[in-house]
């Protein structure tokens, strides 16, 4: 038998360069609070949180084939867990991560039930979960219903230190989640997930453990969204259940991933940056801004469902952060 | 308590009416239309506008609004669902979510945050009730809504089982490719099905606006109630949707009877409990039952 003329590759010179560039950029971003003022640091913290949300929504939708309209459940719970832990006297910054971890543990039984739902049923089923969890959190006397409360423990830091710590926490979280996903997707889980995304029945028939792979992605997404919520409460300090459990977060996540490129690794990051730019430019217009977001998501679903990065990837065969393989 | 049960039953009629179009569309196309609730609010605003500006009776204006809504449904399939289905089975969910965001916020832009109701435009019917023994009062409007939901679900069922169109819809729902092979224009059938769904949405919008108040952001919660009714009753089954609506209505009504905050909690709680039961309880119990029967035989 002749050896095949084709060989399998993962890296290209370009992708090696771009991974190096991303690592370099992340290291440079660490220095931002030392160089720039309060406004820039706060905006970049927001961008990191959007990045986390986009990556996490995409890990479910793009790789698990699970569209959720209820990830705000974890976003809100993450913030709530941080407040509860801080109220119990736990140091506030570790409480952000520990709270997210606890939310992921709570998401395990949820995964067992919700992952039996298919397609649109899973999508709105998660929304019901978010509404239910919202009502339960409202019952906690510490939260005082819709009045809400604040992460008062943060007052022990002065404003500038708090801003920098929160920024570093957000940057570290985004980088850790992104690289974590990068390596997960390059391994067994990535292969399984992409098989599921392309055809669930076929994947199961060749021995992919579909449920286990989906559950891993569900828990990862729950953890990441919870961490994003905890970081959000660390930047805004105030916790009003209504804003945290709002379906608007789902609208944001869908916008970022759909515009950036669902099921690609680079797409959601691009989507988060675009969303951040759009929000900075038009966020003040309120209702029209939301109309614009919805209309853009609608148009992308209709006309360019693979998103901007999906289109670029197809057109130029570009892979900057390689999680797949190609033949040469 | 009897009163809470009875009121819950009637509330369930409203949910069944709201869910009829969602259930029908899901049964035919396997699409869950996330703009379903928002479109009911659109119909409600159209009826309100006609009543408020021109003093036109909401019941008389029902056909006037229903025809454009049905046309809107046909457009919705042609422009949004058919196109987004090319991106995969999940893309219509995203498209309809985008549409719902646009509709809700556009309504807010147009009508502001005020809550509205059609109750002032229908005279005594809004509050007339029948007295039953045991100091129980049954609102005439609630009974009318319940009867309408029976008529809509029965009508859809009859149409599916007894007409040519119904046979084509069932064929397209069963296997679109095979239906296409034997000469059914599935594209057209899906368009008609979405139009029918939105015609029922008009009725639901009218019922919503008559029985209580509504505002531009009322859509999502209506969608959730409708969806809960569909899933509790077993997705895609029309009479199941009625049962699901009634179970949801009774849960909410009894929940509110126990605690003022219990209305929503009990509704969502029952929905989630039924989901969990289906995963853990249902199949496990069925297996045990089979084993029991096997042991006897």
What DSSP designation does A238 have?
Answer: E
Put simply, the answer to whether B231 touches A114 (Cβ < 8 Å) is no
Cα B42 to the center of its chain, rounded Å? 14
Give the whole-angstrom CA distance, residue A231 versus residue A245: 15
Helices of type H across chain A? 13-30, 32-35, 38-58, 64, 72-87, 92-114, 119-139, 159-186, 188-198, 200-205, 210-236, 241-244, 248-260, 267-282, 287-303, 307-316
What tens digit of pLDDT does each residue of A161-203 get? 889 999 999 999 999 999 998 888 888 888 888 788 778 888 8
A132 vs B98, B231, B272: nearest CB = B272
Tell me what pLDDT residue B85 has: 84
Tell me the residues of chain B between 34 and 53 that have a Cβ less than 8 Å away from chain A. Answer: 34
Put simply, the answer to whether A297 touches B98 (Cβ < 8 Å) is yes
Nearest 5°: phi and psi at B55? 65, 30
What tens digit of pLDDT does each residue of A145-165 get? 888 888 888 888 888 888 999
Nearest 5°: phi and psi at A113? -85, -45
Whether B101 contacts chain A with CB within 8 A: yes
Average pLDDT score, chain B? 89
Tell me the residues of chain B between 192 and 221 that have a Cβ less than 8 Å away from chain A. Answer: 220
Q: Which residues of B touch A114 (CB under 8 A)?
A: 275
A131 is a domain residue:
yes
Closest CA of chain B from A188, distance in Å: 24
* Torsion of Cα atoms, A302 then B103 then B43 then B188, to 10°: 0
Burial class (CB in 10 A: 0-12, 13-18, 19+), A89: exposed
A295 vs B32, B102, B268: nearest CB = B102
Cα A268 to the center of its chain, rounded Å? 9
Put simply, the answer to whether B86 touches A123 (Cβ < 8 Å) is no
Would you mind telling me the total number of residues written for chain B in this entry?
A: 297
User: CB within 8 A of A254, min separation 6: which ones?
Assistant: A57, A69, A297, B94, B97, B98
Tell me what pLDDT residue A328 has: 61
Whether B286 shows a pLDDT value over 70: the answer reads no
Tell me what pLDDT residue B21 has: 93
Cα B54 to the center of its chain, rounded Å? 29
Nearest to A168 by CA among A266, A101, A97: A97
Give the whole-angstrom CA distance, residue A75 versus residue A221: 10
Closest CA of chain A from B82, distance in Å: 9
H or E segment to which residue B132 belongs: strand B129-132
Higher pLDDT, A197 or B146: B146
Tell me what pLDDT residue B86 has: 82
* pLDDT-wise least confident of A27-41, A295-309, B181-195, B198-212: A27-41
Do residues A174 and A257 lie in contact, with contact meaning Cβ atoms separated by under 8 Å? no
Nearest to A266 by CA among A76, A7, A8, A51: A51
| B67 C-beta neighbours (distance < 10 Å), count | 13
Closest CA of chain A from B150, distance in Å: 24
Whether B90 contacts chain A with CB within 8 A: yes
Give the whole-angstrom CA distance, residue A272 versus residue A49: 9
Whether B84 contacts chain A with CB within 8 A: yes
Q: Which residues of A touch B228 (CB under 8 A)?
A: 128
Whether B284 contacts chain A with CB within 8 A: no
Give the whole-angstrom CA distance, residue B1 versus residue A252: 43
* pLDDT of chain A, 328 residues: tens digit per residue: 566 677 777 778 787 888 888 888 888 888 788 888 888 999 999 999 999 999 999 999 888 889 999 999 999 999 999 999 999 989 999 999 999 999 999 999 999 889 988 878 888 899 999 999 999 999 998 988 888 888 888 888 888 888 999 999 999 999 999 999 888 888 888 888 878 877 888 888 888 888 899 999 999 999 999 999 999 999 998 999 999 999 999 989 999 999 999 888 889 999 999 999 999 888 888 889 999 999 999 999 888 888 888 888 877 776 777 776 666 6
Tell me what pLDDT residue A310 has: 85
The A-side interface with B (CB below 8 A) comprises 61, 65, 67, 69, 112-114, 116-117, 119-121, 123-125, 127-129, 131-132, 135-136, 138-139, 247, 250-251, 254, 258, 287-288, 290-291, 293-299, 301-303, 305-306
- Residue in chain A nearest B236 by alpha carbon: A121
Tell me what pLDDT residue A224 has: 96
Radius of gyration of chain B (CA): 20
Give the whole-angstrom CA distance, residue A170 versus residue A235: 10
A301 vs B32, B84, B235: nearest CB = B84
Nearest 5°: phi and psi at B236? 90, -10
User: CB within 8 A of A40, min separation 6: which ones?
Assistant: A32
| A179 C-beta neighbours (distance < 10 Å), count | 15
Put simply, the answer to whether A302 touches B80 (Cβ < 8 Å) is yes
Host domain of residue A57: 33-249
A263 is a domain residue:
no
A314 is a domain residue:
no
Put simply, the answer to whether A119 touches B268 (Cβ < 8 Å) is no
A7 is a domain residue:
no
Do residues A26 and A41 lie in contact, with contact meaning Cβ atoms separated by under 8 Å? no
Give the whole-angstrom CA distance, residue B212 versus residue A116: 35
Enumerate long-range contacts of A111-114, CB under 8 Å, 24 or more apart: A111/A214, A111/A215, A111/A218, A111/A219, A111/A222, A112/A215, A112/B279, A113/B272, A113/B275, A113/B276, A113/B279, A113/B280, A114/A218, A114/B275
A1 is a domain residue:
no
Tell me what pLDDT residue B11 has: 93
Tell me what pLDDT residue A77 has: 97
A65 is a domain residue:
yes
A283 is a domain residue:
no
Give the whole-angstrom CA distance, residue A159 versus residue A72: 28
Give the whole-angstrom CA distance, residue A260 versus residue A267: 4
For residue B292, name the pLDDT band (cuts at 50, 70, 90). Answer: low
Whether B26 contacts chain A with CB within 8 A: yes
Tell me what pLDDT residue A93 has: 92
β-bridge partners, A326:
A9
* pLDDT-wise least confident of A119-123, A134-138, B169-173, B229-233: A119-123
Q: Name the token pair of A13.
A: 């010179």
Give the whole-angstrom CA distance, residue A37 versus residue A164: 10
Tell me what pLDDT residue A100 has: 96
Whether B260 shows a pLDDT value over 60: the answer reads yes
Q: Name the token pair of A37.
A: 């003022």
Put simply, the answer to whether B276 touches A113 (Cβ < 8 Å) is yes
Tell me what pLDDT residue A32 has: 82
Nearest 5°: phi and psi at A327? -100, 145
Number of domains into which chain A is organized: 1
Give how far Cα B290 sits from Cα of A65, B275, B276, B277, Å: 34, 22, 21, 18
Q: Which residues of A touch B87 (CB under 8 A)?
A: 301, 305-306
Tell me what pLDDT residue B182 has: 87
Whether B296 shows a pLDDT value over 90: the answer reads no
Nearest to A62 by CA among B96, B98, B94: B94
Higher pLDDT, B95 or B122: B95
Q: Name the token pair of B98.
A: 């985008």
Tell me what pLDDT residue B125 has: 79
Give the whole-angstrom CA distance, residue B188 versus residue B231: 27
**Mean pLDDT computed over B5-32:** 92
A111 is a domain residue:
yes
B95 vs A61, A124, A298: nearest CB = A298
For residue B74, name the pLDDT band (cuts at 50, 70, 90). Answer: very high
Give the whole-angstrom CA distance, residue B19 versus residue B78: 22
Give the whole-angstrom CA distance, residue B278 versus residue B271: 11
């Amino acid at each position: 038998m002749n050896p095949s003329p084709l060989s399998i590759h993962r890296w290209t010179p370009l992708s090696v360069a771009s991974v190096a560039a991303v690592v370099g950029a992340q290291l440079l971003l660490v220095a931002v609070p030392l160089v720039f003022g309060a406004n820039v640091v706060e905006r970049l913290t927001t961008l990191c949180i959007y990045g986390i949300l986009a990556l996490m929504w995409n890990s479910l939708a793009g790789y698990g084939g699970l569209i959720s309209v209820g990830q705000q459940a974890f976003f809100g719970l993450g913030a709530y867990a941080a407040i509860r832990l801080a109220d119990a006297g736990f140091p506030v910054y570790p409480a952000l991560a520990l709270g997210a971890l606890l939310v992921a543990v709570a998401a395990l039984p949820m995964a067992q039930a919700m992952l039996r739902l298919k397609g649109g049923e899973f999508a709105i089923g998660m929304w019901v979960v978010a509404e239910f969890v919202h009502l339960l959190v409202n019952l906690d006397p510490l939260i005082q219903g819709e009045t809400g409360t604040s992460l008062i423990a943060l007052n022990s830091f002065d404003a500038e230190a708090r801003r920098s710590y929160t920024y570093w926490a957000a940057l570290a979280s985004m980088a850790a989640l992104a690289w974590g996903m990068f390596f997960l997707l390059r391994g067994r889980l990535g292969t399984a997930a992409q098989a599921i995304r392309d055809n669930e029945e076929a994947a199961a028939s060749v021995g992919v453990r579909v449920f286990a792979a989906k559950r891993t992605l569900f828990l990862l997404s729950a953890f990441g969204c919870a961490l994003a919520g905890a970081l959000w409460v660390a930047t805004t300090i105030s916790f009003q259940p209504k804003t945290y459990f709002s379906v608007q977060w789902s609208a944001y996540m869908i916008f970022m991933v759909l515009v950036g490129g669902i099921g690609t690794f680079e797409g959601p990051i691009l989507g988060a940056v675009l969303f951040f730019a759009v929000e900075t430019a038009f966020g003040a217009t309120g209702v029209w801004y939301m109309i614009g977001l919805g209309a853009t998501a609608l148009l992308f679903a209709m006309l360019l469902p693979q998103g901007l990065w999906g289109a670029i990837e197809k057109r130029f065969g570009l892979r900057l952060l390689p999680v797949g393989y190609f033949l040469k | 308590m009897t009163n809470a049960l009875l009121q819950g039953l009637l509330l369930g009629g409203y949910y069944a009416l709201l869910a009829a179009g969602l259930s029908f569309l899901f049964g035919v196309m396997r699409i869950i239309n996330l703009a379903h609730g928002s479109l009911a609010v659109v119909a409600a605003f159209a009826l309100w506008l006609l009543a408020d500006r021109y003093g036109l009776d909401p019941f008389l204006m029902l056909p006037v609004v229903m025809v454009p809504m049905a046309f809107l449904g046909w457009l919705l399939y042609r422009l949004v669902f058919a196109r987004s289905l090319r991106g995969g089975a999940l893309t219509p969910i995203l498209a309809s979510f985008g549409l719902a965001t646009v509709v809700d916020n556009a309504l807010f832009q147009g009508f502001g945050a005020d809550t509205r109701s059609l109750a002032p435009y229908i005279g005594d019917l809004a509050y007339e009730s029948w007295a039953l023994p045991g100091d129980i009062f049954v609102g005439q409007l609630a009974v009318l809504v319940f009867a309408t939901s029976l008529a809509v679900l029965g009508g859809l069922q009859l149409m599916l089982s007894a007409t040519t169109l119904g046979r084509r819809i069932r064929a397209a729902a069963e296997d679109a490719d095979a239906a296409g092979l034997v000469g059914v224009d599935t594209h057209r059938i899906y368009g008609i099905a979405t139009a029918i769904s939105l015609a029922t949405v008009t009725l639901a919008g009218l019922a919503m606006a008559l029985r209580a108040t509504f505002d531009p952001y009322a859509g999502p919660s209506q969608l959730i109630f409708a969806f809960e009714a569909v899933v509790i009753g077993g997705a895609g089954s029309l009479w199941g949707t009625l049962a699901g609506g009634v179970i949801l209505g009774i849960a909410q009504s009894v929940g509110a009877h126990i605690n003022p905050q219990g209305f929503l909690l009990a509704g969502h709680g029952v929905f989630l409990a039924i989901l969990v039961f289906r995963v853990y309880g249902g199949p496990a119990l069925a297996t045990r039952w089979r084993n029991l029967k096997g042991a006897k035989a």
